[in-house]
Each structure stands twice: as C-alpha cells, then as structure tokens.
Structure 1
Amino acid sequence: MAMTYSGRCACGAVTLQIKDAPVGTRQCWCLQCQQIAAGGPSHNAIFPTEAVSIAGPLRHSTWTAASGNTLTHHFCPSCGTQVYAQSSARPHLMTVRFGVIDEPHGLRPEVVIWTDEAPAWACIDPALERWPGQPPAPAPPPPPAG
C-alpha cells in the first residue's frame, strides 16, 4: 500500500495531497533556510513532483542558492506559510515543508545538511548523517514491481 499525506497552510487557502512516500527527509541549516525559518533550520520531506497535488493560490520567490542552483520557494500569499521549494537542478523533486503536512505524519529528518552554516548554538542530532554543504540528490525510488 502506498503512503499518502495531506496538508494545508495555516489559513487553509492552500491544500495538498501527496500520493507517495518521501524519497528523503532533511533538516537544512543553509542561511536561506534560517532566514525563512526565523533563525532555525527548515525541516523537509522530498517527494517526486508527480506525487504532489496542490490546490489554492501560491506565490513564490527565487534566488541563487549557495549550491549555485536556482531555488524557488512557494508559499501561501494570504498567511505566508512555506509550502514547498524546488531546485533548478532537481525539477523532478519537490521539497515539502514538514509544517504544511497534516499530523500525525510520522516524518523526521534522516539527514542534516549545510551544517557549516549552522550557528554555534544549533542542536544537531549526532545520530543523523551530516553534510557540511549540499549533498547529492536522493536516490530515485525503485521502479514498481511487475
């Protein structure tokens, strides 16, 4: 049975349905994520783009990330909730914010990235795999059996 998730922004204007398991989950300490997350890291689940359906209005902002890729963040224009991000290097993947996925989703970071940009006071789980900067993309899921 395939995993499914639903979600919404804080005001409910944007909803999402996800019809697949994440290919990875990450905590990101890059400076851009610290800015959009009010000083802490962002917490993200990475899904195949075709698995995610979004309804409602979205706005976006785009910039060049420290990795050199163009990063586009999509958010609700009414309440500002961050919904997802997408990298120019990985258009087949959507990085969905944990906070927009309905609880209980059971997700937790598997990897911590951009640790070199984390502040000295950051609490990083020592049990998690760490990357000082941009890691390689998550491996694609295996093809369906059959």
Structure 2
Amino acid sequence: MCQAVRYELEGEPEWVWQCYCRDCQLATGTGHTTIAGFHKDRVTVSGPIANYTTTGDTGGRVSRHFCPTCASRLFTTGDLPGPLTIFQSGTLDDPNSVTPTAAIYVKDKLAWDYIDPALPQFPGMEDRY
C-alpha cells in the first residue's frame, strides 16, 4: 500500500488458490483470501519486512510477512508449503494477472462466503500436496 516494500516474481505461479482457512479469515478479516505460490528462488523482496509466526492446523510453522510501515499483509512462508512463498494476490501490481484454480480449506468456509462451483474444492491444503 505504501510502497515501502517491493517484490519481484519470476515466471508464473506454481498455483493460485482461494483459501478459506480460519487463519486466513483472522488475518484478512474476511471469509477467504486469494494466494499465489512461487518458488523461493524466483522471489526477490526489497524493503523492511516484519513477520508474525503461528502454528498452523497441520502443526507446522506459518509466518506471515507484512510491511512494518502500513501493515499490508504481503506473503506467507512456513513448513507447509516448504520451498514456496505464498503471495496475497491483491498485493500484485496486476492482481488480474492470476486466476484461482482451486479452493482449499473448504472445511472452514463460512456459511455466507461463496466458492465458484467451477473450482475444484479440497478440505485442507495438505490435500493438494
């Protein structure tokens, strides 16, 4: 939002998913988030980064990285998905450049939220690995 942090992503994402997990609901204040996974070796980040680490429902570490100036949530790293960095698609310079291909953590979906019926649906993230 404030441009204090910039990142460059090389190539196309490994995947783009709608995530309905409870952690994403709490972190975003809404029903789901759209995320894009890129291999860490194709990611360059410049600027100061702050992070907050919790334990995910699989028992692994989940670190959310954000701008310390404006608090925009930028990306997530952790034990699962390991070598991937998961970017919030809304922080891309062109968020329309990615399109979700699956819905994950649908077991946590809020009753009022919507899932595109054309998307494959998975109870959790681990079901995709």
CA distance in 2, matches of 1:133, 1:89: 12
Bigger Rg over Cα: 1
Tell me the residue number matched to 1:143.
none
Letter in 2 for 1:128: L
Note if 1:13 corresponds to 2:12. no
Tell me the residue number matched to 2:68.
77
Letter in 1 for 2:7: L
Matching residue within 96, 99, 115 for 2:106: 115
Tell me the residue number matched to 1:26.
17
1:52-131 correspondence to structure 2 within 5 Å: 52-103=43-94, 105-131=96-122
Tell me the residue number matched to 1:4.
none
Identity of aligned residues (%): 30
Deviation at 1:89, TM superposition (A): 3.2
Compute the TM-score of the two structures, normalised by the length of structure 1: 0.83
Which digits, 9 at most, give the CA deviation of each residue in 1:74-111, with x for residues without a partner? Answer: 00011111111012133311001101110164212111
CA distance in 2, matches of 1:81, 1:53: 17
Q: Which runs of 5+ in 1 are unaligned?
A: 1-9, 138-146
CA distance in 2, matches of 1:86, 1:127: 28
1:90 match: secondary structure: coil
Q: Calculate the aligned-residue CA RMSD, in Å.
A: 1.2
More helix by share: 2
Q: Which runs of 5+ in 2 are unaligned?
A: none
CA 1:133 to 1:91, structure 2 compared with 1: closer, same or farther past 3 Å? closer
**Post-superposition, which runs of at least 4 consecutive aligned residues in structure 1 deviate over 6 A?**
none
Letter in 1 for 2:6: T
